[in-house]
Chain A
Amino acid sequence: MLTFTIRRLIFAVPTLLFTALIIFLLLELAPGDPMSNVPLTVPDDVKQQMRLALGLGEPMHIRFFKWIVQFFWIEPLNLFDQMFGTTFAEGKLRVISWQSRSPVIDIIAERIPQTLWVVGTAYVVAIAIAIPVGIYSAYRQYSFFDQAGTFITMVGYSVPPFFSGVLVIVVFAVNLGWFPSIYDTTHKVVDWDSFVVQLKQMIMPVMVLALQITSQISRFMRASMLDNLEQDYVRTARAKGMGERTVVMVHVLRNSMIPVVTVIALGIPAIFGGAIITEQVFKVNGIGQLLITAIQANDLPMVQTLTFIFAVLIVLFNLFADVLYGILDPRIRYD
């Protein structure tokens, strides 16, 4: 297993370099100009000088190489400096956002907590609901509970968040007035009361996101349980005199969790990716919102870096899912 992990990590390097190249080229070849938001009163030659100042005068391959160096060498060094108070990266040029002229990584670090709080909580809530629902729906297939669950998950899966988001705002924020409709990012949790406020402002976005994630995972869990409930080993367990609880919650569940855990692990990068639409609806200024505004402003370093971080996370969690699969299923051998 360890050899497998190391081998996969080494293979991940060319994969990621190639991904980086594709991301860079796609953004490079796409139309757009970082100066398009600059007022028309600014003369053309000034704009040209500004472009050169951003480094756009260099040929494409030089810019790609510099970005790679900045991302893989200077930024980690900088992180090391911040953690241990050293000065290895001093004076070196970091990846700078064209919009705000501050380092991209610093902005991302500012936005990550909001996203993790909202999207991460939604993911945890969704898993906590989906797994028991999936198990029970499968065990009592075609019961009222199962039929109702099927209906709700179908609705949850097919209604887009820009609709369900606005709907919950109308119901809970406007009509009932229970929760604020706008997420206040500057709110700090210091005591119980401020924690309650934080909880209140999180409920609606979490609800909207969790509805979608629960729908997916509970369907998956149900299907996986149904597959396993019909297996011969279930009959063997019953013939041994095991109680229904042991049969379902030990024998069947252990087998059913294998594909579900993999799907959950593969979904984790999406948490960091944020939820572009839901963040927009509730004004959560997380990663999703950062990405969309960066795209609108042609802020190439920001878009490149964010997209590439997503790529890294996807590669890592794919590996994580594979390793987990090997741990959960004794039949899988990687050596």
Chain B
Amino acid sequence: MPEGGRRVLEVLGLEIVFHTRDGEIHAVNDVSFSLAPGEVLGVVGESGSGKSVTMMSLIGLLPSPPARVCRGQVLLDGENLLMVSPARMRQVRGGEVGFVFQDPMTSLNPVFTVGYQLAEPLRRHMGMTKRAARARSIELLELVGIPDAAARLRDYPHQFSGGMRQRVMIAIALACEPKVLIADEPTTALDVTIQAQILELLQDLRAQLGMAIIWITHDLGVIAGIADRVMVMYGGQVVEQAPVREVFGNPQHPYTRALLKTVPSVTGARAARLEVIEGQPPILTSAPSACSFRDRCADRAAQCDRENPVLRAIGGGHDVACHQSYGGCPA
């Protein structure tokens, strides 16, 4: 991937706070990352680590209230999306940034035909006529591998299977040829064979259309298969960021290492129990002042209680946020 070249998306120091009845929740704390054109960035982390919230906030999809973006910049080709007008934001959504959600069963509107839902962004963003939008819709459905596309435009979502619906969702997200596609656990709700099909489909589409993809997932196997770069999130922060080979071959952050250990091995003697990371992820009621992973960390030191480690480059495009690895003596 092009290193140090043009960035299609750059996120700087993003902070998101949820104002709830029980007080504030600091869901995203000082998150920065960037995305090169055509790159696939895998985002991993436990539930509640802030992955989805970060990505949804990029195009203003978080309900506000309760969510509030307190600080930061989201630069899409240099334009700060946090400052743009609502009208401009609507152009970006679906037009320049596509979004595929987790659950295809509920993400499509049940009372409109697939053709209608697919034509909507085309007519809105590209100003197509009904006829042109229909032709393009057929093309898109064929692109995502739905057979007999012309006839299926008249069908309603409930007439499609889960995997087919996710293909429709992908077709909608791709409709206006976005620069960035954000896929929020697009295969989590699907069974394994369908997952493989969707993965393959998105890889093909990237090769054909050349857009950058942000792929949010729990599944490290998926990441290993498709990502160019991996971002590991924990407690609303980026704890490690590196090219995919580095993450799997030379993990620096104890959380990343723990995550990799939880992947069961299919060779050798079978372990008596599956590996787990003991403890619970933190609920951040204030901005972190200490390492948020310290309670679950084997290498906890005095410094970890005093100071929140910042993300630091350790060479080779590898960034890590841990006091222990600063000293250059990774355990």
The interface of chain A, by Cβ under 8 A from chain B, is 231-233, 235-243, 246, 251, 254-255, 258, 328-331
Contact A239 B61 (CB under 8 A): yes
Check if B109 sits within 8 Å of A237, measured CB to CB. Answer: yes
Chain B residue with minimal CB distance to A235? B61
- Chain B contacts with A in 166-190, Cβ cutoff 8 A: 169, 172-173
Closest A residue by C-beta to B98:
A239
Secondary structure at chain A's binding surface: helix, strand, loop or mixed? helix
B108 interface residue, CB < 8 Å from A? yes
Complex interface bits, B132-159 against A, C-beta within 8 A gives 1, otherwise 0: 0000000000000000000000001010
**A240:B107 contact, CB within 8 angstroms:** no
B163 at the interface (CB under 8 A from A): no
Q: Are A251 and B61 in contact (CB under 8 A)?
A: no
Q: Which residues of A lie under 8 Å from residue B108 when comparing CB positions? A: 233, 236
Q: Find chain A residues with CB under 8 A from B61 CB.
A: 235, 238-239
Closest Cβ–Cβ distance, residue B114 to chain A (whole Å)? 11
With contacts A238-B93, A241-B90 taken as known, whether A255 is within 8 angstroms of B110 at the C-beta atoms is yes
Contacts of A233 in B (CB 8 A): 106-110
Q: Are A236 and B92 in contact (CB under 8 A)?
A: no
8 Å CB interface, B116-132 against A: 120-121, 124-125
Task: State how many angstroms separate the Cβ of B28 from the closest Cβ of chain A.
Answer: 18
Q: A235-B107, A236-B101, A331-B156 are in contact. List 5 more A-B contacts (CB 8 A).
A: A233-B107, A236-B109, A239-B98, A241-B91, A330-B110
In the complex, chain B residues whose CB is within 8 Å of the CB of A237: 109, 120
B: which residues have CB within 8 A of A? 59, 61, 90-95, 98-99, 101, 103, 106-112, 120-121, 124-125, 156, 158, 169, 172-173
A244 to chain B, nearest CB (A): 8
Asked whether A232 lies within 8 Å of B156 as measured between CB atoms, the reply is: no
In the complex, the answer to whether A241 meets B158 with C-beta atoms within 8 Å is: no
| Chain A residues, Cβ within 8 Å of B173 | 239
Interface core residue of B93, B125, B156, B173 (most chain A CB under 10 Å): B93
Q: Given A241-B93, A241-B95 in contact, is the A231-B106 Cβ separation under 8 Å?
A: yes
A-B interface, 3 closest residue pairs, ranked by CB to CB distance from nearest: A241-B94, A241-B93, A240-B94
B107 touches A242 (CB 8 A): no
Bound-state CA distance A335–B26 (Å) is 52
Residues of chain B lying within 8 A (CB to CB) of residue A231: 106
Cβ contacts under 8 Å, A330 to chain B? 110-111, 156, 158
- When distances are taken between beta carbons in the complex, the residues of chain B under 8 Å from A243 are 90
Do the beta carbons of A241 and B110 come within 8 Å of each other? no
Nearest A-chain residue to B158, judged by Cβ: A331
